[in-house]
Amino acid sequence: MAVDIDTKISILSMRDTGPAPEAALVRDIIKRGLIATPVLLGASYAIWGINGAYSCAYALGIVFANFALAAALVAYTARISYALMMGSMLFGYIFRLALVAVAVFVVRQSSWVELLPLGLTIILAHLGLLFWELRYVSLSLAYPGLKPKKSKQKKSEQPTESATQ
Amino acid sequence: MEALTKIVKAAAEAATGDEKNIAAAGSAGFAYGLAAIGPGIGIGLIFGSAIESMARQPEAAGMVRTTMFLGIAFTEALALIGFVVFILLKYA
């Protein structure tokens, strides 16, 4: 007896239980951001003084938090379903923009805030860190997140070579 | 005609001060809203394409998600630029 069952499954009802590449990317972005932080703080201090340095530090905090929140949202919701991931990305965009706006509006009249270094750091850090990260992104099925470091690659190749000898 | 000129002059005088500030704030907010629309559409397109790619090739989902995340982060930079320009024009 043939049973007519519609076997089409929507991709939106599926989920991804594998490792989250976004988390690795953002961890790496924040690590690089921490390397660049002293340079940016020093430049802001040299141009706008101590208030500029405080504003720059605050802006860097906003940028790091924005990246971390975006990655956390994607990584967490992808384990539940792609539909939820879609919702979290689209509404998360508005939510994160609102958070950035609130974070800036809350402090805009404080005595230690210089708006120009604050705004410039938000844009430059966001774009700069993304461009910096692009160099280390791997687009291969073997390494869907970051490229493996050369030293790690050599170590993993060594046992294979000795095994063939 | 003279009365009309007087009215226009009076309106121009009234527009100075608070009303001008309100109009400027409204315009800046409107401009920021417009700046956020483009990236919103862009993020929707990126995510739609990513879902399509994952449906076609589920084994490449990790790679697609990496590209999608970077694409969304770059698109979001446009909205951030709009926000920063708004803040600088309005308050700096």
Q: Determine, for residues B88 and A115 on separate chains, whether the beta-carbon distance falls below 8 Å.
A: yes
Task: Give this prediction's pTM.
Answer: 0.80
Domains in chain B: boundaries: 2-91
Q: What is the pLDDT of residue A164?
A: 42
pLDDT at A156 over 70: no
- Cα distances from A44 to residues A56, A106, A121, in angstroms, run 7, 21, 9
pLDDT at B15 over 60: no
A15: left (phi over 0), alpha (psi -120 to 50) or beta: beta
Cβ-based contacts of B51 with chain A (< 8 Å): 11-12, 82, 86
Pick from A15-19, A66-70, A155-159 the range whose average pLDDT is largest.
A66-70
B88: left (phi over 0), alpha (psi -120 to 50) or beta: alpha
Q: Which residues of B touch A (CB under 8 A)?
A: 36, 39-40, 43-44, 47, 51, 54-55, 58-63, 65-67, 69-70, 72-74, 76-77, 79-81, 83-85, 87-88, 91-92
Please say whether the structural domain B2-91 has been given the CATH code 1.20.20.10: yes
Residue of A nearest to B62 (CA): A144
Using CB atoms, pick whichever of A21, A93, A133 lies closest to residue B62. A21
Using CB atoms, pick whichever of A96, A115, A139 lies closest to residue B63. A139
Q: How confident is the model over A72-122, as pLDDT tens digits?
A: 999 999 889 888 888 888 899 999 999 999 999 999 888 999 999 999 999
Q: How confident is the model over B28-47, as pLDDT tens digits?
A: 778 888 888 999 999 999 99
Residue A108 in tokens: 């805009």
Q: How confident is the model over A3-62, as pLDDT tens digits?
A: 555 667 777 777 777 788 888 899 999 999 999 999 999 999 999 999 999 999 999 999
Cβ-based contacts of B74 with chain A (< 8 Å): 127, 130
Residue A123 in tokens: 């844009």
Cβ-based contacts of B56 with chain A (< 8 Å): none
Chain-wide mean pLDDT for chain B? 82
Rounded Cα distance between B77 and B75, Å, is 5
| B77 close to A127: Cβ distance less than 8 angstroms | yes
Q: What is the pLDDT of residue B20?
A: 75
Using CB atoms, pick whichever of A11, A21, A130 lies closest to residue B51. A11
In Å, how far is B55's CA from the nearest CA of chain A?
Answer: 6
Q: Report, in angstroms and rounded to the nearest whole number, the Rg of chain B calculated over CA atoms.
A: 23
Strand partners, B83: none
Domains in chain A: boundaries: 20-134
